[in-house]
Amino acid sequence: MSLEQLKRDFDRDGYVVLRGFLSRDELEELRVRAAGCLSEARRSEEYPGVVKNLNGIDPWFEDQLQRGKQAELISALLEAELEPASAGCFERIPGESSGIRPHIDAIGRRRRGATAWIALDRADRENGCLFYVKGTHRQDLPSVVGLEGFGTESEGAVAVEVEPGDATIHNSRTVHWSEANRSERPRQAITYFYWAASCEGDAATDNV
């Protein structure tokens, strides 16, 4: 798909899906690097499947955050210089009882940014794929986890089923969530989060 088409879709829906974003070798390297970090990382009680700041654990992730191929693409989609924020791992743990409730990634008045979410495993409805709600990046929603009124039946809600090496990019204002992993299969993804460099505390300049 051309960059123009991707940008049209991103502006209209608030996310895009990039099939086959990573080559087999790139995916393998990402898996090995992620496994190395996860063995060292501390987990929170509330979200045991989430490990933030991979870039603080392994400089390889800092380099990817700064220069990985998702960075150039996100810069083009947001039409902005980027301020790389963090790399993380999101795992839906087999047999867990809950996922991550509907939320946006924007924080307070800091609204312009985007996340690349790269699948290490197949993700589907059974093992906790991402859900997006199309067009919600145009709403002015609060930065809370557990946004009221959003769910799989919402108008515009889409389950994004992907294969290993596929990626999605979502606007920091797009509502998204994942359900519990009801399967016995793993579901890991690596994320790279960016702010648009010009956006600090300046919601008035937001043009998304």
Q: Which is nearer to ligand AKG, 57 or 167 (CB)?
A: 167
Residue 208 CA to residue 201 CA, distance in Å, equals 15
Tokens of 69: 């191929």
| Structural contact between residues 112 and 19, judged by C-beta atoms closer than 8 angstroms | no
Under rule CB under 6 A, residue 90 binds ligand AKG: yes
Query: Least distance to ligand AKG from the beta carbon of 141, Å?
Result: 14
Residue 150 CA to residue 157 CA, distance in Å, equals 8
Of residues 98 through 117, those in contact with ligand AKG by CB under 6 A are 100, 105, 115, 117
User: Would strands 167-171 and 15-18 be described as parallel, antiparallel, or unpaired?
Assistant: antiparallel
Under rule CB under 6 A, residue 166 binds ligand AKG: no
Site string for ligand AKG, 19-58 (x = CB under 6 A): ----------------------------------------
Under rule CB under 6 A, residue 15 binds ligand AKG: no
Distances (CA, A) of 23 to 28, 118, 132: 9, 12, 25
In 3-state terms, what secondary structure has residue 90? strand
Of residues 189 through 208, those in contact with ligand AKG by CB under 6 A are 189, 191
Would you tell me which residues interact with ligand AKG (CB under 6 A)? 90, 92, 100, 105, 115, 117, 128, 130, 176, 178, 189, 191
